[in-house]
Amino acid sequence: MAKKTVATLQSKEGRSYTKVIKMVKSPKTGAYVFDEQMVPNEKVQDFFKK
C-alpha cells in the first residue's frame, strides 16, 4: 500500500525543487544550526553562495 500512496503524492512539479541543507553558526548562541529549505533547481548554487 505504501508504494501506491507515495506514487499518488508525486507530481511533475515536485521534481523541479531540491531540499538543501546548510550549516550556519548562530550569532546568538555560537552553536551550529541547520538551515533547511526547498529551493528551485536553478537557485541551488545561489543558496550556498549566501
Q: What is the pLDDT of residue 23?
A: 94
| DSSP class per residue in 12-49 | GGGGGEEEEEEEEE-TTT--EEEEEEEEEGGGHHHHHH
pLDDT exceeds 90 at position 8: no
Q: How confident is the model at residue 9 (pLDDT cuts 50, 70, 90)?
A: low
* CB 32, CB 25: distance < 8 Å: yes
In angstroms, the CA 47 to CA 50 distance is 6
pLDDT exceeds 60 at position 48: yes
pLDDT in tens, 12-46: 665 899 999 999 999 999 999 999 999 999 999 99
7 forms bridges with which residues in the sheet? Answer: none
> What's the predicted TM-score (pTM) here?
0.56
